[in-house]
Amino acid sequence: MKIGVLISGRGSNLAALIEACAEPGFRGQIALVISNRPKAEGLQVAAAAGIPTLVVDHQDFASRETFDAELDRALRAAGVELICNAGFMRILSDGFVEKWRDRQLNIHPSLLPAFKGLHVHQRALDAGVRITGCTVHFVRPEMDEGPIVAQAAVPVLSGDTPETLAARVLEAEHKLYPLALKLVVEGRARVVGEQVALLEADGTEAAPLFVPAI
Ligand code: GAR
């Protein structure tokens, strides 16, 4: 399955996906990495792995729709069948999201549906939660909503700052996203209604994928 990865910055989740795709027998291949920011460090991560990159700078477009149309064109031209948002910090138009319905994944650094949006770690600390984590889900027009493929739990420790908590969650993200992507490329994570049904390799129903505290 040809995968397109959308990034805006550092690209550490992209690096984890590149590593996963390099595993023998992995049934996905990253065909294109697109950044909406010309200076995203993730562009170098992709280039170092020999993966084609493209900058589609949102500032060059008059509207969200024209920006999204260019993303769509580039992804289709590269033969992409599945999109992975990996630290992509632009809201996509409903039209784009619907075109890629059930073919676009996102990773979010909280246990959704808690803490959608920005400043998630500060908000988790402010709320006093003892456990947070990360979620991989199929994308829907509403921000940080959509059928959940997998989640990982991460403890909040006393003395945590948004930075220390973000670093601990990020480690979990790097394990979770490859796991979730593997399920999707193998056809073992299917959207049924608005939930994800997980199947074992032999086609029988699997338990929800929950990665315990890391
Ligand atoms: C990650 O923590 C990812 O979950 C988050 O941005 C970071 C990107 O890091 N994404 C969002 O907040 C999207 N709502 P990376 O560029 O090193 O992968």
**107-214 shares the fold of 1-100:** yes
Q: Is 121 one of the catalytic residues?
A: no
Q: What CATH code would you report for 1-100?
A: 3.40.50.170
Average pLDDT, the chain: 96
The domain locations on the chain are 1-100, 107-214
Residue 124 pLDDT greater than 70, yes or no: yes
Give residue 213's pLDDT: 56
Under 8 Å between Cβ of 182 and 26: yes
Ligand 1 shell residues, CB under 6 Å? 7, 9-13, 42, 86-87, 107-109, 170, 173
Question: Tokens in use for 40?
Answer: 């995203």
Q: What CATH code would you report for 107-214?
A: 3.40.50.170
Which pTM does this prediction carry? 0.96
Give the model confidence (pLDDT) of 158-212 as tens digits.
999 999 999 999 999 999 999 999 999 999 999 999 999 999 888 888 887 777 6
Q: Please pick, among 58, 108, 119, 121, the residue that the annotation labels catalytic.
A: 108
Contacts of 122 (CB under 8 A, 6+ apart): 162
Give residue 212's pLDDT: 65
Angle between helices 162-185 and 120-127 (to 10 degrees): 110
